[in-house]
């Protein structure tokens, strides 16, 4: 009985699917006629091309003025601070200042020495007058909780500015 019911359902489904496949003899010519009519219609007109605006030309007339990119212009006003190009670089100057960690101090009073760990996992001793960081940072003071220094940064006009910075003791 279930097999007979299943066979009847399959036959009914196949019969329903077959209706859309067959067509009446008059349908195809109507479709071909409609396609021919659509192809025969004129195409819609194209929108007009945009009008090109005429740009004003500009003649550069500052040839006789001083060149702002010349070396003579940049070197003016050299009375401010400058990095010492003859000074030998110290080990801690090869690392960015934010990658250096103060891990402790030795001594007390004016003889205090800071312990700084670099990214190479080596601990270095730092005293006032030492240099660290990549911006010519000179250590001005060592305290129990921080190292104070002054960095030299370019001011954008060929000169240099002193910028205070510090490295604080790392919390464990």
Q: What residue numbers bound the domain in which 147 lies?
A: 91-168
Does 71 map to a domain? no
Choice among 48-52, 65-69, 89-93, 147-151 with the minimum mean pLDDT: 65-69
**Average confidence (pLDDT) over 108-121:** 89
Does 111 map to a domain? yes
How many helices and strands (H and E) does the chain possess? Answer: 3, 7
How many domains does the structure of the chain reveal? 1
Taking the C-alpha atoms of residue 79 and residue 112, their distance in angstroms, rounded to an integer, is 34
How many residues in the chain?
A: 172
**Beta-sheet strands, E only, within 18-136:** 101-106, 113-117, 123-126, 131-132
Rg (CA), the chain: 42
Instruction: Determine the pLDDT at residue 163.
Output: 92
Burial label for 83, CB within 10 Å (0-12, 13-18, 19+), is exposed
pTM score, whole prediction:
0.54
**Average confidence (pLDDT) over 9-29:** 63
Does 123 map to a domain? yes
Does 72 map to a domain? no
**Average confidence (pLDDT) over 10-20:** 66
Choice among 25-29, 55-59, 94-98 with the minimum mean pLDDT: 25-29
Taking the C-alpha atoms of residue 151 and residue 171, their distance in angstroms, rounded to an integer, is 24
Instruction: Determine the pLDDT at residue 92.
Output: 92
Residue whose token pair is 């006789």: 64
Identify the CATH number of the domain in which residue 162 sits: 2.30.30.830
**Are residues 106 and 123 in contact, defined by beta-carbon separation less than 8 angstroms?**
no
Residue 40 vs residue 79, higher pLDDT: 40
Does 159 map to a domain? yes
Does 109 map to a domain? yes
Residue 128 confidence class, pLDDT cut points 50, 70, 90? very high
Does 161 map to a domain? yes
Question: For 42-77, what is each residue's pLDDT tens digit?
Answer: 988 999 999 988 888 888 888 788 877 776 555 555
């Amino acid at each position: 009985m279930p097999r007979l019911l299943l066979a009847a359902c399959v036959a009914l489904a196949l019969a329903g699917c077959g209706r859309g496949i067959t067509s009446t003899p008059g349908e195809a010519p109507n479709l071909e006629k409609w396609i021919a009519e659509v192809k025969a219609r004129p195409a819609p007109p194209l929108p007009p091309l945009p009008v090109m605006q005429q740009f004003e030309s500009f003649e550069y007339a500052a040839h006789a003025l001083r060149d702002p990119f010349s070396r003579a212009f940049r070197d003016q006003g050299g009375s401010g601070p400058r990095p010492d190009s003859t000074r030998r670089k110290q080990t801690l100057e090869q690392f960015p200042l934010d990658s250096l960690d103060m891990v402790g101090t030795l001594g007390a009073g004016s003889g205090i020495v800071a312990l700084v760990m670099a990214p190479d996992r080596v601990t270095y001793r730092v005293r006032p007058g030492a240099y660290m960081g990549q911006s010519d940072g000179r250590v001005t003071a060592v305290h129990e909780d921080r190292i104070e220094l002054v960095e030299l940064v370019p001011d954008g006009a060929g000169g240099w500015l002193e910028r205070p910075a510090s490295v604080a003791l790392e919390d464990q």
